[in-house]
Amino acid sequence: MKNPDVNRLKEAGLGFALGALGGCILGVTEDPVDRILLAMTAEGPLTPVMQEVQTVGPLGLGTLLGATALTAATTSVIAGVILAAAAASVFVALKNRGASFTPSAGLWVSAGVAGAFGTTLSGATFGAAVEWIVNRYSMLGLFWTLSLFTVLKPPLSFLFKILWSQGEACCRLGSEVSSREVAEWQQRQRMVLQMERRILALEKGADSRETPAYEQRERAELERRRAEREEAEMQQRTVQDWINTVLIKHVDFLAFSGIPMTVVAIVTAGFGMFGYGDHQAALVVLLVLVAIITYVLLSSSNFKFWMLVGCMGMLATFVIAMLTLHAGQAALMDAKRMRAEGRSQSREDIGSRMNLQSSLEALNAAFFVAKLCQLSLGATVGGALVRRGAGGAKVIAGAAALAGSLLTGQAVLAPALSAGENAGALLGVVATAGVSAGGAAAAAGGSSSWWGTLATVGGLVLGASALGKWHAVNIGLQVPAAFVFAMISPF
């Protein structure tokens, strides 16, 4: 009889190792992210942002950059989910051509690789697109692009669902035809073998009583194979239905979750365009608008996952706007204090200093919120996979290996990429690391003993903190966010 204490120690040791792995890959991303943020806030990339503070106002600048960063982050993650679902669907359709079907490691590997590369590549693409729009068309171009993209997402999601259902139906039809052809071929082969055995039995003068017994064994074998085939088809439909559910929920999330924060960004930027960006009325309208939208969404009788994340994204853009406004006001207060000390500055210098501080704060806050968004959505995927039964160790280790490979590839290609492309690619890596961290969090929650739970949590926190250079603010927010979103089921 096994000692329960020994089993608990083994579970705790494995949990600590998996938690440390998920935490380490999360901590490893901190230094590259900090470096690319420094590059984005250098004088060159910051200049077009500073020039637009007067156009849209500090509140408009904060909400525009926040909404854009969150929109790009969520879109890149959902692009990865779509590619992962497509790869998994193709794998399921092809795998079912045999007589049996089991969700093997190949299913999760193909989906994981497609999702990780899709998120990273789409993140780099969105980073380059945002950078190009700001440099060429300023914040007004970003304003119109964000507005148009938000309007187009719902009809595009509806069109995508139709195309996906048609493609999935074609794959299922092809799989059923292939399975039927295989079954018919096997049936013909059995009939041929049965005839040959009967002929041989007659030639050898075998006992006629052997033929009914042989036919009975053949019928039993045929019935067993038919049952196996039906079970395989049922398993395939179950996995495919789960893939479809995950995809549809994420597409709905992409289509509607960005609407609240985009509405806030449009209103505040509109105030700035009409010359009220610094007026107190703009702040009052922003507060009232956020409160109304939050109340309407949270009080909905048909509450959905996208409503929760939409409110969180809107509140995040509100915080970014307030930080942007506060940075400009702090620069103004510093100028007044310097003037009181006898070190007077011109109005142009004070305005330039205010614009600089507002732009720095807006970029820093928007980038951090986008990183937290990527991590949280990745943790949601990782937690769902572990609860689904994909294997905690496989999800955590696989996502960590993919994140490490992508981080290495980004470091190699960094000199050839712009600041926006590097930033988007790194955020995609953070999302993949979030899958590993979220898997560790879900494994901790699903542990059979407190020993395993505490060991997994300890490993995750220790790994993230140690390799994250004990960055208290980042780690203090990222690890709790990974735990919360890993436990949320968006389905």
Q: Give the pLDDT score at 71.
A: 92
Q: Average pLDDT for residues 24-33, to the nearest whole number?
A: 89
Higher per-residue pLDDT: 35 or 54: 35
pLDDT in tens, 122-135: 999 999 999 899 88
Which range, 131-135, 207-211, 475-479, has the best average confidence (pLDDT)? 131-135
Domain limits, the chain: 11-487
Q: Where is average pLDDT lowest: 5-9, 197-201, 317-321, 353-357? A: 197-201
| DSSP per-residue string spanning 208-235 | TTHHHHHHHHHHHHHHHHHHHHHHHHHH
Q: Which two tokens stand for residue 416?
A: 């050839």
CA torsion 14-15-20-25 (nearest 10°) is 100
Higher per-residue pLDDT: 423 or 350: 423
pLDDT confidence tier of residue 208, bands split at 50, 70 and 90 = very low
Q: Give the pLDDT score at 203.
A: 59
How many H-runs (helices) and E-runs (strands) does the chain carry? 14, 0
Q: Give the pLDDT score at 490.
A: 65
Q: Average pLDDT for residues 198-224, to the nearest whole number?
A: 61
- Tokens 């700035």, residue located: 272
pLDDT in tens, 303-353: 788 888 889 889 999 999 999 888 888 888 887 887 777 777 777 777 788
Statement: residue 141 has pLDDT above 80: yes
- As a whole number, the mean pLDDT across the chain is 81
pLDDT confidence tier of residue 476, bands split at 50, 70 and 90 = confident
Q: 182: which DSSP letter? A: H
pLDDT confidence tier of residue 1, bands split at 50, 70 and 90 = very low
CA torsion 327-331-332-333 (nearest 10°) is 100
Q: Average pLDDT for residues 171-182, to the nearest whole number?
A: 58
pLDDT confidence tier of residue 40, bands split at 50, 70 and 90 = confident
Statement: residue 174 has pLDDT above 60: no
Statement: residue 369 has pLDDT above 70: yes
Q: Average pLDDT for residues 70-91, to the nearest whole number?
A: 88
pLDDT in tens, 280-306: 778 888 889 899 998 888 888 787 888
Q: Give the pLDDT score at 317.
A: 92
Q: Residue 382 in contact with residue 435, Cβ under 8 Å?
A: yes
Statement: residue 204 has pLDDT above 80: no
Q: Can you give the pTM of this predicted structure?
A: 0.84
